[in-house]
Amino acid sequence: MNVSIKIPLERLQRGAVAILCVAVLTLRLAGCKDSIEITNGKNWSIPLDSNNPIIDRRVGNIGFKFCLLNVDSIPANEFKTGENFYFYFVIENFLKEEITIEGKSLHPNLFLVYSEETGELIGKPISGHFCEFSGTTKVVPIHGKQSLIYIFPWSDFFSEEEKINLHPDWYYRGLFFNYPFCFGHMNSLLSKGIYSCRFKMDFQYRVGGKTRDGFGFLIDGGQKKISELFFEINFKME
C-alpha cells in the first residue's frame, strides 16, 4: 500500500516542479519582452547671446535637432516684435532598421514658451486634442537612415499670403501639425521682451520588430527609452 501511494505522490511532486519551472520561465520571457532599455538623457541649452541658435545632438542612434525659425526660414534667437516665428524639431534615425515611436513620447506638453522676466508660462504652439478623434494610429514610424520633421508656427492665425510666400512646401509635405500634434493654437504674437522655450521629454521607441498593425507600423521588437531629455532656447522679441 505504501508503494502504491508513494509513486503517485512522487509523480505529482515532479509535475508540480515542472509546472513551476515553466511558469517561472514564462514570466522571465515576458519580462524580457516588456523590459525597456533606458538611456539617460541630456540637457541642451542655447543662451541668448549664442551665435549658433541650433540644438543638433545625438544620443546613441537617435539624433535631435531643435531651433526657432524667423519668417525667412532662418534659425534665429532674435525676432521682430509683431512677426510670427516657427518651431523646427527633427528626430533622426541613424539605424538601418525602422523604429516606431510611442505616441506618448511626443506628448503635447512640449515647446513651452515662458517669459524670462516674470517666469510666467505664456503658452505653446500645438496641442494633441484633435488626434484623439482622428482615428490616427498611436505610433509614429521612422524608416532606417531617415528623419521625422515637425514645423509649428507660434500662431496659426496668419494670412494666406504668409502661407504661400513663406513656406508653401511645408503644407504640401504635411509638416504642420502631424500626429501627435494635430491642432495648433491661435496665440497672440509676442510683445517685446526676453523669452525661453524649454521642455522635458522621455523619448520611447521600438526597434527590431517584425509584427505590424493594421496601419503597417511595427508594434513589437525591443523597447528603448531616452529618459529626461531637456531642451532650452532663450530668445528675444525686439
> Residue 87 pLDDT more than 80?
yes
pLDDT band (50, 70, 90) for residue 31: very low
| Mean pLDDT lowest among 25-34, 107-116, 150-159, 161-170 | 25-34
Both 78 and 165 in a single domain?
Answer: yes
> Residue 216 pLDDT more than 50?
yes
Both 11 and 52 in a single domain?
Answer: no
Q: Identify the residue with better confidence: 8 or 213.
A: 213
Q: Tell me what pLDDT residue 50 has.
A: 95
Q: Tell me what pLDDT residue 20 has.
A: 45
Q: Tell me what pLDDT residue 131 has.
A: 59
Q: Confirm if 198 and 231 have CB atoms less than 8 A apart.
A: yes
Both 22 and 103 in a single domain?
Answer: no
In whole angstroms, give the CA distance from residue 70 to residue 86: 6
Both 75 and 178 in a single domain?
Answer: yes
Both 21 and 55 in a single domain?
Answer: no
Q: For 77-93, what is the mean pLDDT?
A: 93
Both 115 and 137 in a single domain?
Answer: yes
Both 105 and 12 in a single domain?
Answer: no
**Structural domain count of the chain:** 2
Both 210 and 95 in a single domain?
Answer: yes
- The closest alpha carbon to 45, from 225, 153, 196, 152, belongs to 196
Q: What is the CA radius of gyration of the chain?
A: 25
Q: For 132-149, what is the mean pLDDT?
A: 78
Domain coverage including residue 15: 1-34
Both 9 and 86 in a single domain?
Answer: no
Both 47 and 94 in a single domain?
Answer: yes
Q: For 200-205, what is the mean pLDDT?
A: 92
Answer whether 0.95 is exceeded by the pTM: no
> Residue 28 pLDDT more than 70?
no
> Residue 136 pLDDT more than 60?
no
In whole angstroms, give the CA distance from residue 149 to residue 151: 7
Both 158 and 195 in a single domain?
Answer: yes
| Mean pLDDT lowest among 44-48, 147-151, 199-203, 211-215 | 211-215
Both 94 and 185 in a single domain?
Answer: yes
Q: Tell me what pLDDT residue 181 has.
A: 75
Q: State how far the alpha carbon of 85 is from the alpha carbons of 50, 166, 187, in Å.
A: 18, 11, 11
In whole angstroms, give the CA distance from residue 73 to residue 76: 9
In whole angstroms, give the CA distance from residue 89 to residue 175: 10
Q: Tell me what pLDDT residue 22 has.
A: 42
Question: Rounded to a whole number, what is the distance in angstroms from the first to the last CA of the chain?
Answer: 99
